[in-house]
Amino acid sequence: MKLTGSQILIECLKEQGVDTIFGFPGGAVLNIYDELYRARNEIRHILTSHEQGAAHAADGYARATGKVGVCIATSGPGATNLVTGIATAYMDSVPMVAITGQVATTLLGKDSFQEVDITGITMPITKHNFIVKDVDKLADVVRKAFFIAREGRPGPVLIDICKDVTAACAEYEPKPPKRLPQAPIGVDEKDIDEAAEIINSAKRPVILAGGGVSIAGANKELLELATTAKIPVTTTLMGMGAFPGTHELYTGMIGMHGTRTTNMAVSESDLFIAIGARFSDRVISDVRRFAPKASIMHIDIDPAEIGKNISVQYALSGDIKKILKLLNQRVEKKEYTDWARKINEWKELYPLKYSQDSKLHPQYIIERMYELTKGEAIITTEVGQHQMWAAQFYKYTSPRQFLSSGGLGTMGYGFGACIGAQIGKPGKKVINVAGDGSFRMNCNELATAVEYKLPVIIAIFNNHVLGMVRQWQDLFYDGRYSSTTLDRGTDFKALAEAYGAIGINVTTREDVDEALKRALASEDAPVVINFEIDRDEKVFPIVPPGAPISELIEE
C-alpha cells in the first residue's frame, strides 16, 4: 500500500513495539507530529519542556524497562539539544533511537533555516546514524536502527529525516521486527576450561560486576558463580543492583568513592575477574598500581574493551550470560575460605560511616529512603556528591534499579530519566536524588511531571554550592572556592508549587520521615523535597587523583 513517509515511520515504530515517544515538535517534524496525532491511541507522546529532557527520558525509560527508548526533535537547535542525551546513552550503552527532522533535500548544504549536520555532529556518540533523503529507503532504515540499537552492546542510533521525505509517498509492506541473532558464546570450550581452572585455583579472587551484567540479564548467573566459589563481589557505579547489595559477599562499590574493604581486597587479590565493565579511570585510578598482585580476567561482549585501559591475562569476549553459565558448570563449590573471612573482618573494621550527631546528614536521608521504600524504589540521580551518597547508602538488590549517568557524568540527567522510568514502570516508586546545582538545570521538567500526573519524587540535597567541585577545591585547591557558591535565594518549595507540584522543606533530622512518607503517598502529583544540608558535607572515602585505589582519604 502507498503511504507517506510520516505514515511509514509511524507504522514502523508500531512494528517495533514502540508505545511511548518523548519529544518536542517543530517545523521539520510537523508531518510526523500530524501522524502521531492520528496514532495517539497506539503511541503515547510525552511532551517534555526541553529536547534534552526528552533524550534523558528516553534513556531512563530504556534503562528501567530494557526496551529501546525513543525521542524526537526538530531540525537545527532541536536536534542539537538532543546531543548531550545521546552522548549520555552512548557512554552507558543504552538502547535508544533518536529521530530528528531535517530541512528538505533541495535545501541541504545551503545554510538553510534550522539546518545543521546532525549526523556529522553525532557520528562519534552513536552506534550508527542515518540521514534519509529517499522515502523508498525509510522503512528499511527505521528497522535497521532498532536492530542496531539492541544488538550486541546496546547504544543509541540517530535517524535524520528530510522534511520532503516525510511528505512523499512510497509502497509500504509490514514486516515483523528482525529477531536478534543468538549471541555467540565467543570463546572455545578450552578457554572456558582454562578460566574455570584459574578461578578454582585462586586463593584471593574478587569479582567486579559492571553495567554489562544487568544489560545481559546475567545477574542470576553472577550470583551463582559468586556463591558457589565464595568469591567477594564489588560493583561499578553502573553495576549497582547486578549483585544484591544486601548479600554477605558484597563488598560495596569500587574505585574513587568505593569502600575501603573493596579497594583493599582488589589490591590484595590474586585474581581479579571483571564482568561487563570497562575499567574506567574512576575505577582503576593509577593503572600501574591497580590490582598489583592479581592476574586479570575480563569477560565482556565488546572485544574492543578488552585490553583497552588495562592489560588482561585472560580474555573471554562474548555473551556474558552464556559464558557465566558455562563457567558455573565447571567452577568448584567451596565453603567459606580464609579470604572470604578476611573480607568480612574488613567490612566490620571499615564500614561506610558518617557523623551520628543531630544534624541533617545526606547519608541519613538516603538510609531512611531505603528503609521507607523497603529497598524497592527505582533511584535516578543527577551527578555530584548526592549521586555518590545514593550509590553508597541505598542497597540495590536488582538490575535496572539505579539509573545514573556514569560515563559522561551529565548534570541534569536525573529528572528526565526519572520521568522516563516512571512512565516505563508505572507500578514502581521512582525517586530522583538531586543536588541544587543539577536541579537548576532541569527544573523546567516539573511542568512535564505535573501535566502527566507522575508521582515522582525529587529529593534535592540543597547545600547551596556545587558540592563535588567545592569538595575538590577544598581538598586539592587550598579552599579556593571559585564559582561554586550558589546562594541565589531560590525557594524550591515555592518553585514546585508554582508548577503545580507539591513542595516540602526539610531542615531537621526529625522531619525526614514525615516528608518522605508524605511524598511516597502521592499518587498523581510530583513531590519536591528540599533537604537543607551543610555545604561542607563531603563524600568519603575518596581516592586522590593519581593515587592507587588503596590510598583513600576517609575523613
Separation between Cα atoms, residue 255 and residue 202, nearest integer Å: 22
Q: 2-4 and 169-171: which strand pairing?
A: antiparallel
Nearest CA-CA partner of 158 in 125, 111, 136: 125
Nearest CA-CA partner of 417 in 69, 76, 81: 69
Other beta carbons within 10 angstroms of residue 396's beta carbon come to 25
- Alpha carbons within 13 angstroms on the beta-carbon side of residue 524 total 0
Separation between Cα atoms, residue 146 and residue 141, nearest integer Å: 9
Separation between Cα atoms, residue 137 and residue 148, nearest integer Å: 16
Q: Residue for cell digits 559477599?
A: 249
Q: Report the DSSP beta bridge partners of residue 70.
A: 97
Q: Helix, strand, or coil here: 10?
A: helix
- Alpha carbons within 13 angstroms on the beta-carbon side of residue 539 total 27
Separation between Cα atoms, residue 160 and residue 123, nearest integer Å: 12
Q: Residue for cell digits 530494557?
A: 66
Distances (CA, A) of 287 to 159, 310, 345: 38, 7, 27
Q: What is the 3-state secondary structure (H, E, C) of 186-198?
A: CCCHHHHHHHHHH
Angle between helices 30-38 and 5-15 (to 10 degrees): 50
Active site (catalytic) residues:
51, 113-114, 163, 468
Q: Helix, strand, or coil here: 167?
A: helix
The cell for 20 is 511511548
Q: Residue for cell digits 557524568?
A: 409
Q: Helix, strand, or coil here: 530?
A: strand
Phi, psi dihedral angles at 303 (to 5 degrees): -65, -20
Strand ranges in 149-266 using DSSP code E only, listed in sequence order = 156-162, 169-171, 205-209, 233-235, 250-253
Phi, psi dihedral angles at 381 (to 5 degrees): -140, 155
Q: Residue for cell digits 544488538?
A: 151
Contact between 130 and 158 under an 8 Å Cβ cutoff? The reply is yes
Separation between Cα atoms, residue 38 and residue 327, nearest integer Å: 51
Q: Helix, strand, or coil here: 263?
A: helix
- Alpha carbons within 13 angstroms on the beta-carbon side of residue 212 total 27
Other beta carbons within 10 angstroms of residue 37's beta carbon come to 9
